[in-house]
């Protein structure tokens, strides 16, 4: 039997229990090909194409853009922030500013498990000798708990940020678990000029560390300034063979999530 209309198939899947497949991600990529980010978000949220969806935000250098886009459609979309206990004070202040400024009505701080921290990072220095283990404790595990019950999540990833993000599609399967959760990258094709123009058009406040040479901002111990012309994420985990914290994993070659164009 031929497949039904792909959009109907995705919606029906939400009503019968199973979550998404690679075919669902491909159908959504096809449906929204060449559709603007604003229109895609409006349709996806108002028609509930993504089921129960949350936005995962670092409240970093460019986070205000995606949060503003989402809040413009539905400010009640849950926004998840990984409160690692290692953030710059400026990031926490910026988080509070944006939550109030954008009227985000379902903001959630996700914190590490206290027992796990006591057992595996009692000194708080694991970042200095095992950054992967530190990220697992403070980001990966809390987010896995925080996303329970959600069918999809929005990310702020953009292709220009690093080599591991250049080929990402708008819609993909979340490879961090086996439940078939969808991951949506609304800004994946946006350029730095697009980001700057959106900030200016909507008079959005900038993260205070950007003008100090931090184009990508994570936890304070593992974030350094970046020189002009360098990869925006080169200041993250400098000196380590590490480019992602673990909540996003690069898609393998030949993965069906990868676009064919």
Supply the residues annotated as catalytic: 245
Residue 22 marked in a binding site: no
Closest CA to 247 of 106, 82, 123: 82
Strands 171-173 and 182-184: antiparallel
Sheet holding 79-82, edge to edge: 107-110, 79-82, 53-56, 152-154, 182-184, 171-173
Place of tokens 């950054």: 131
219 is in an annotated binding site: yes
On whether 135 is known to bind a ligand per the annotation, the reply is: yes
In the numeric block, which tokens belong to residue 28?
């959504």
- Map residue 86 onto helix, strand or coil: coil
The verdict on whether residue 222 carries a ligand-binding annotation is yes
Torsion-angle region of 177 (φ positive above 0: left; ψ -120 to 50: alpha; else: beta) = beta
**How would you classify the pairing of strands 53-56 and 107-110?**
unpaired
What is the residue whose two structure tokens read 């809390």?
Answer: 142
Residue closest to 79 by CA, chosen among 60, 51, 99, 100: 99
Quick one: tokens of 29? 């990529």
Contact 258, 251 (CB under 8 A): yes
Q: Please give the annotated binding residues for [4Fe-4S] cluster, written as ranges.
A: 134-135, 219, 222
Q: Please give the annotated binding residues, written as ranges.
A: 134-135, 219, 222
């Amino acid at each position: 039997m031929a497949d039904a209309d792909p959009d109907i198939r995705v919606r029906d899947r939400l009503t019968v229990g199973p979550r998404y497949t690679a075919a669902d991600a491909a159908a959504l990529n096809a449906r929204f090909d060449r559709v603007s980010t604003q229109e895609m978000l409006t349709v996806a949220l108002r028609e509930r194409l993504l089921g129960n969806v949350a936005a995962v935000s670092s409240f970093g250098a460019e986070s205000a853009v995606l949060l503003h886009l989402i809040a413009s459609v539905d400010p009640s979309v849950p926004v998840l922030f990984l409160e690692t206990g290692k953030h710059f004070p400026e990031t926490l202040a910026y988080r509070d500013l944006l939550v109030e400024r954008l009227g985000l009505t379902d903001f959630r701080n996700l914190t590490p498990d206290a027992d796990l921290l006591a057992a595996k990072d009692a000194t708080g220095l694991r970042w200095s000798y095992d950054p992967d283990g530190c990220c697992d404790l403070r980001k990966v595990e809390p987010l896995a708990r925080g996303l329970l019950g959600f069918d999809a999540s929005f990310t702020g990833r953009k292709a220009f940020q690093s080599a591991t993000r250049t080929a990402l599609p708008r819609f993909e399967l979340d490879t961090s678990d086996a439940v078939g959760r969808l991951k949506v990258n609304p800004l994946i094709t946006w350029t730095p000029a697009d980001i700057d123009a959106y900030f200016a058009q909507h008079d959005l406040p900038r993260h205070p560390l950007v003008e100090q040479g931090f184009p990508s901002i994570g936890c304070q111990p593992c974030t350094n300034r970046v020189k002009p012309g360098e990869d925006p994420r080169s200041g993250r985990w400098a000196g380590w063979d590490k480019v992602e914290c673990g909540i996003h994993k690069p898609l393998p070659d030949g993965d069906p999530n990868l676009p064919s164009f």
